[in-house]
Amino acid sequence: MQRKANRGDGQPVAQAESELELIHQAQRGDRKAFGQLVRRHREGVVNVVYRLCGDEDLAEDAAQEAFIRAWTNLPKYRPRSAFRNWLYRIANNVAIDALRREKETVELEAVPLAHPDGGPGALVERRERGETVRQAVLDLPPASRAVIVLREYEGLSYKEIADTLDIPMGTVMSRLNYARGLLRQSLAPYMEGA
C-alpha cells in the first residue's frame, strides 16, 4: 500500500462533513449510512489488521469484526477524534484479540526469513524481500508493531497515533524509536540495497 498523501485527518472538508452526516445517521440506526462508512474505511481497516496479525484470511474476518464493534459502540462515539482513528483503535484491539485466539495458527504460517541473495529474478527477490519485511514487522512486540503500522503504512501523525492507541505522545516516539531499532537489526542484510 502506498503512503497516504494527506496527514492529519487526511480528508477534504466536504468529504469530512458528509462523513459526519453519515456518522450521525448511523448513530441513529441507519444501516445504509453505516454501509457507506464501511465502504470508505474498509481498505484502511483491513490493512491495519493485516499488518498487525499477518494473516489475510484472519484480516478480513477481523476487519468485519472491527466494523461490527464499531456499529455497536457508535452511539458512544463523539467526533472529538477522527472517525478513521477511532476505527483504527477498534481494529487494533480486534487484531490483538484475534492474534490471541489464533496465535498457534499464525506461528505455523509464519514465513521464514529469506536470504537476500535467494530467488532467480528481480521480481522474486523483491517479493521475498517484501515478505521478509512483513515478517520482521510481525515479529515486533505488539505495542511497537501498532505504532509502526499506523505511522509507516497508514501515515498517521504522532498525535493521531497517541489518540488512537490512547498513549502519550512521548510513548509514541519512544515506541517508534524502539521498533525502528529492532527492524534495522532484523533487516540489516537488506538495508544497504534499500
Q: How far is the CB of 88 from other proteins (least distance, A)?
A: 11
Q: What x/- string results for residues 154 through 193 when contact with other proteins is judged by CB under 8 A?
A: ---xx--------------x--xx--x--xx--x--xx--
Q: Which residue among 85, 98, 114, 151 contacts other proteins (CB under 8 A)? A: 151
Q: Which residue among 71, 106, 119, 142 contacts other proteins (CB under 8 A)? A: 71
Q: How far is the CB of 190 from other proteins (least distance, A)?
A: 6
Q: Which residue among 8, 12, 75, 168 contacts other proteins (CB under 8 A)? A: 75
Q: How far is the CB of 55 from other proteins (least distance, A)?
A: 9
Q: Which residue has the cell 477511532?
A: 86
C-alpha cell at 171: 510513548
Q: What contacts 24+ positions apart, CB below 8 Å, involve 120-129?
A: 129/190
Question: Using CA atoms, how far apart are residues 173 and 162, in angstroms rounded to an integer?
Answer: 10
Q: Which residue among 22, 23, 33, 38 contacts other proteins (CB under 8 A)? A: 38
Which residues here bind other proteins, judged by CB under 8 A? 1-3, 7, 29, 31, 34-35, 38-39, 42-43, 46-47, 50, 56, 59-60, 63-64, 67-69, 71-73, 75-76, 89-90, 93, 126-127, 129-131, 133-134, 137, 148, 151-153, 157-158, 173, 176-177, 180, 183-184, 187, 190-191, 194
